[in-house]
Chain A
Amino acid sequence: MNTQAHAEEAHAGASVGTNIAIWVGLVAITFLEVFLAYEELQPSVMLSILVVLSVVKAAMIMSFFMHLKYEKFALVLWLVPAMIFCICMMFIFFFPEAFRLLQMRPH
């Protein structure tokens, strides 16, 4: 496939119907999160569930609304793993302290 064809494919993107379906999905996950807030879960359990749901929503927005699914895969490889690596590094630096404080916290 030549560069011109690649460029045309990149501009094709998702149809209006697909974008509306993604939007409905995002609103539905938002309401699911609000429903979970009624359930009075443990903060650590609630935080874990919410982070997973938020990552799903972020992936939907990046793939469809931000067209990443329709760009060259090299772009995804260039941007996403490095970003995830940096975010993981932040967790590595924070967590030993976080665990220590969790043990110190009054019960």
Chain B
Amino acid sequence: MHDVKTEAALDSAWSGGKSPFAMGSKKLGMWLFIVSDTLTFSALLITYSYSRLTNPDWPRPFPIFPAIAFSTTMTVVLLASSLTMVMAVMASQRNDRKKTVMWMVATMIGGLLFTGLHLTEWMNMIFKEHFTITGNPEGTPLFGAVFFGITGLHMTHVMIGVIYLGIVAIGYGRGKYSAEDVEVNGLYWHFVDLVWMFVFPLIYLMSVKY
């Protein structure tokens, strides 16, 4: 026979045999991955901000038209794909497999469009404006390293996200994966969107050509 305090401890969410955060291990694992990836991007963006403020000859290669208008379009496309992902997660929780797959495909199209626009911009910068990872005609060569490094790492995340969405959409459509898998996939996709919310203002809007 236990006393009152022991009974209360055994009844708590932390006494074992229960999920203290009321969620599955996949979702918890994705949250931990997101925290670790946040620190990776934070380190890169803080290093960038430091370089940006301390270098007087920082290149400003982005005029409002067309470069900033172009990257704003990319931002809106990525944000729109986050909204379609929200719709996919909501549909999966209603057990509506057809609509879930439809919204996930829409999210993939958003991701592919973003990647396409981004690569177009990269090609323009590399081949027309002669910006490379080691040098550029306008100022400190550090610019190329941070610009291609940070946007490249983000674009890699987007491309992995599109592949991940494709795998989960097929699996969920066939009944192999559950609504939780779609939700975990959604967490990853929103994180990719969240990172861009820092990359776009810090990299692009801090280097506008007037």
Interface residues on A, range: 35 or more
Q: Once the chains bind, are B205 and A23 in contact (CB under 8 Å)?
A: no
Q: Once the chains bind, are A10 and B22 in contact (CB under 8 Å)?
A: yes
Q: Which of B13, B19, B68, B202 contacts A54 (CB 8 A)?
A: B202
Alpha-carbon distance between A65 and B185 when the two chains are bound, in angstroms: 12
Q: Once the chains bind, are A61 and B205 in contact (CB under 8 Å)?
A: no
- By beta carbon, the residue of chain A nearest B79 is A26
Q: Once the chains bind, are A90 and B53 in contact (CB under 8 Å)?
A: no
Interface size on B (CB < 8 Å)?
A: 53
Alpha-carbon distance between A101 and B104 when the two chains are bound, in angstroms: 47
Known contacts A30-B75, A94-B47; is A11 also within 8 Å of B53 by CB?
no
Q: Once the chains bind, are A47 and B50 in contact (CB under 8 Å)?
A: no
B200 in contact (CB, < 8 A): yes
B202 proximity list for chain A (CB < 8 A): 47, 50-51, 54
A74 proximity list for chain B (CB < 8 A): 20-21
B50 proximity list for chain A (CB < 8 A): 94, 97-98
Residues 175-210 (chain B) with a chain A CB within 8 angstroms: 183, 186-187, 190-191, 193-194, 197-198, 200-202, 205-206, 208, 210
Give the contact stretch, choosing among B34-42, B111-119, B126-134, B160-168: B34-42
Q: Which of B13, B22, B47, B197 contacts A57 (CB 8 A)?
A: B197
B56 in contact (CB, < 8 A): yes
Q: Once the chains bind, are B21 and A54 in contact (CB under 8 Å)?
A: no
Q: Which of B18, B86, B191, B200 contacts A30 (CB 8 A)?
A: B200
Q: Once the chains bind, are B83 and A87 in contact (CB under 8 Å)?
A: no
B140 in contact (CB, < 8 A): no
Q: Which of B18, B35, B210 contacts A83 (CB 8 A)?
A: B35
A57 proximity list for chain B (CB < 8 A): 194, 197
B31 in contact (CB, < 8 A): yes
Alpha-carbon distance between A82 and B21 when the two chains are bound, in angstroms: 17
Q: Which of A27, A75, A105 contacts B76 (CB 8 A)?
A: A27
B76 proximity list for chain A (CB < 8 A): 27, 30
B183 proximity list for chain A (CB < 8 A): 67
Q: Once the chains bind, are B198 and A102 in contact (CB under 8 Å)?
A: no
Q: Once the chains bind, are B54 and A105 in contact (CB under 8 Å)?
A: yes
12 A-B contacts (beta carbon < 8 Å): A19-B83, A23-B83, A27-B76, A31-B72, A61-B193, A62-B190, A75-B21, A79-B31, A83-B39, A86-B42, A90-B42, A105-B54
- For the complex of A and B, list the 5 residue pairs with the smallest distance between their C-beta atoms, beginning with the closest: A101-B54, A50-B201, A37-B205, A57-B197, A65-B190
Other contacts beyond A30-B200, A102-B54: 20, CB < 8 A:
A3-B13, A13-B93, A16-B90, A27-B79, A33-B205, A37-B205, A43-B52, A46-B206, A50-B205, A51-B49, A54-B198, A61-B190, A62-B190, A66-B187, A67-B183, A72-B20, A72-B22, A75-B21, A79-B35, A90-B42
